[in-house]
């Protein structure tokens, strides 16, 4: 666990004394004689588990310094050690610096050590909770993606491509929280698990749908949003996915920065999902974009501009015909893959995962597959 500690004080003799007192208890202690120097150390050697600052320092006082630390490294536990113990200072430190402890000079060694131990434990709890949440979130996403790949290989294949385009657009636009946009792209088709297979087959074959069938298919974004809505940290993503069919002209001015982010996510998905469908049907990228530009009410023109500048295809492709025993995880199918009874097992463009390979092996042993089949081997981007 990270146990790095940073002390900031404009009196170097105090810093020397602190290091001497605590060197046996804490092995990683850095010091800085100004707020600016402390911020530079955080950039160069951070993150620190604990940062302890004096209050009265020239140029940048302790409150301003700890506020900057909070912005740069939110998980770092912040404390103040000062001889200026008035109530106003304490209130400022708590409100602006979000400090964990407020200690007075001179501070006995045992009291200081106990406070640092408590701060390190607090840091451990914060980072452990984040790590657990990240692992749970990533695990949930992988499970849902695997379910989609098994239930509807075509939808899963499209989701992989959609994620790549969405991630590229979010990067080009320098959007905050880009991971949210990437996951929204990856899970944009998860609602297809609620759509009957016969309807999806007609959609992907570009066959005319009845009014009722079209309504069922058009509702899959809302179904996907409901699936994701109760998963922690996916609230914004579920709302982006719900908006993926909404025309650009129907948006209102956002009331908050978060609403603006969600709306932009929905607009990106609208462009990318429809663009990918054009390509799925065999249209060339340039022609697809040209047709989409004509629908000025449907698509955000700024997003179309960014998409038009992207490299659509992966790099260094090689087509090979291989038998199932030669297939490796990471290869990409260059054809639809069906069992000998006609069941679609995986679609063209789908990446071979460990679970998909195992599924194909099971079908090969029982029902049989037509082998060999075409795969793409690529060193290009995965998105």
Q: Which of 101, 90, 57, 77 is nearest to 5 (CA)?
A: 77
Q: For residue 379, what pLDDT band results from cuts at 50, 70 and 90? A: very low
The pair of structure tokens assigned to 375 is 């795969």
Q: What is the mean pLDDT of residues 292-321?
A: 83
| Residues near 230 by beta carbon (within 8 Å), at least 6 away in sequence | none
Q: pTM of the predicted model, to two decimals?
A: 0.58
pLDDT of residue 329: 85
Q: Which of 44, 42, 21, 43 is nearest to 53 (CA)?
A: 42
Q: For residue 344, what pLDDT band results from cuts at 50, 70 and 90? A: confident
pLDDT of residue 146: 74
d(CA 104, CA 112) in angstroms, rounded, equals 10
Q: For residue 336, what pLDDT band results from cuts at 50, 70 and 90? A: confident
* Chain segment 113-156, per-residue pLDDT in tens: 999 999 999 998 888 767 766 676 677 777 777 777 777 777 77
pLDDT of residue 172: 92
pLDDT of residue 68: 92
d(CA 151, CA 356) in angstroms, rounded, equals 11
Q: Which of 186, 135, 147, 180 is nearest to 165 (CA)?
A: 186
pLDDT of 382 higher than 50:
no
d(CA 5, CA 77) in angstroms, rounded, equals 10
| 338 strand-pairing partners | 344
All domains in the chain, ordered by first residue: 5-128 (3.40.50.2300), 152-312 (1.10.3210.10), 314-383 (no CATH)
Q: Which of 5, 37, 1 is nearest to 101 (CA)?
A: 5
Contact 170, 181 (CB under 8 A): yes
The alpha carbon dihedral of 165, 279, 211, 196 has a sign of negative
- Tell me which of 98 and 279 has the higher pLDDT: 279
- Determine which of 218-232, 294-308, 344-358 has the lowest per-residue pLDDT on average: 344-358
- Determine which of 84-88, 272-276, 289-293 has the lowest per-residue pLDDT on average: 84-88
Specify the DSSP class assigned to residue 105: S
Q: How many CA atoms lie within 13 A of 214 on its CB side?
A: 7
| DSSP helix/strand/coil, 75 | coil
Helix (H) and strand (E) counts in the chain: 15, 10
Percentage of the chain exceeding pLDDT 70: 90
Specify the DSSP class assigned to residue 100: S
Q: For residue 314, what pLDDT band results from cuts at 50, 70 and 90? A: very low
pLDDT of residue 380: 43
| DSSP helix/strand/coil, 2 | coil
pLDDT of 104 higher than 50:
yes
pLDDT of residue 85: 58
* Chain segment 53-74, per-residue pLDDT in tens: 998 899 898 889 998 998 899 8
| DSSP helix/strand/coil, 102 | strand
Q: What is the dihedral of CA 175, 270, 164, 153, to 10 degrees?
A: 150
Which uninterrupted H or E stretch holds 110?
Answer: helix 109-151
Q: Which of 63, 71, 112 is nearest to 88 (CA)?
A: 63
Q: What does the mean pLDDT of the chain come to? A: 86
Contact 349, 376 (CB under 8 A): no
d(CA 181, CA 270) in angstroms, rounded, equals 12
* Chain segment 239-272, per-residue pLDDT in tens: 999 999 999 999 999 989 899 999 999 999 999 9
| Residues near 97 by beta carbon (within 8 Å), at least 6 away in sequence | 62, 63, 65, 66, 67, 69, 70, 78, 80
| 78 strand-pairing partners | 51
d(CA 24, CA 168) in angstroms, rounded, equals 49
Q: In which region does residue 368 sit, left (phi positive, over 0), alpha (psi from -120 to 50) or beta (all else)?
A: left
Residue with tokens 């695997």: 146
| 318 strand-pairing partners | 377
Rg value, the chain, Cα = 28
* Chain segment 179-207, per-residue pLDDT in tens: 889 899 989 999 998 999 889 888 888 89
Q: For residue 236, what pLDDT band results from cuts at 50, 70 and 90? A: very high
Give Cα separations from 245 to 265, 273, 361 (angstroms): 12, 9, 37
Specify the DSSP class assigned to residue 5: E
Q: For residue 87, what pLDDT band results from cuts at 50, 70 and 90? A: low
């Amino acid at each position: 666990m990270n146990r790095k500690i940073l002390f900031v004080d404009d009196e170097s003799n105090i810093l020397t004394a602190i290091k001497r007192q605590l060197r046996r208890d804490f092995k990683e202690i850095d010091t800085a004689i100004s707020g600016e120097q402390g911020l530079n150390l955080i950039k160069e050697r951070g993150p620190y588990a604990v940062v302890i600052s004096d209050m009265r320092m020239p140029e940048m006082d302790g409150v301003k310094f700890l506020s900057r630390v909070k912005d740069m490294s939110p998980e770092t536990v912040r404390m103040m050690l000062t001889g200026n113990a008035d109530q106003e200072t304490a209130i400022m430190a708590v409100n602006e610096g979000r400090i964990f402890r407020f200690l007075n000079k001179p501070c006995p060694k045992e009291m200081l050590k106990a406070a640092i131990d408590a701060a390190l434990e607090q840091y451990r709890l914060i980072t452990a909770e984040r790590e657990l949440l990240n692992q749970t979130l990533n695990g949930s996403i992988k499970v849902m993606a695997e379910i989609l790949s098994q239930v509807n290989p075509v939808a899963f294949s499209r989701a992989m491509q959609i994620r790549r385009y969405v991630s590229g657009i979010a990067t080009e636009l320098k959007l905050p929280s880009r991971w949210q946009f990437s996951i929204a792209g990856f899970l944009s088709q998860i609602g297809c698990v609620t759509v009957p297979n016969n309807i999806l087959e007609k959609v992907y074959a570009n066959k005319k749908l009845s009014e009722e069938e079209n309504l069922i298919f058009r509702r899959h974004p809302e179904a996907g949003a409901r699936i994701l809505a109760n998963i922690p940290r996916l609230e914004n993503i579920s709302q982006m996915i719900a908006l993926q069919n909404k025309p650009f002209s129907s948006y209102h001015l956002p009331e908050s920065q978060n609403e603006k982010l969600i709306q932009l996510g929905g607009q990106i998905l609208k462009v990318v999902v429809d663009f990918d469908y054009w390509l799925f049907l065999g249209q060339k990228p340039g022609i697809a974009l040209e047709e989409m530009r004509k629908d000025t009410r449907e698509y955000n023109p700024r997003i179309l501009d960014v998409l038009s500048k992207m490299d659509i295809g992966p790099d260094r492709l090689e087509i090979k015909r291989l038998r199932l025993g030669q297939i490796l995880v990471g290869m990409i199918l260059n054809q639809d893959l069906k069992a000998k009874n006609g069941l679609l097992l995986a679609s063209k463009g789908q990446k071979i995962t460990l679970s998909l390979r195992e599924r194909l092996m099971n079908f090969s042993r029982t029902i049989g597959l037509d082998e060999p089949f075409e795969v793409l081997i690529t060193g290009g981007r995965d998105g």
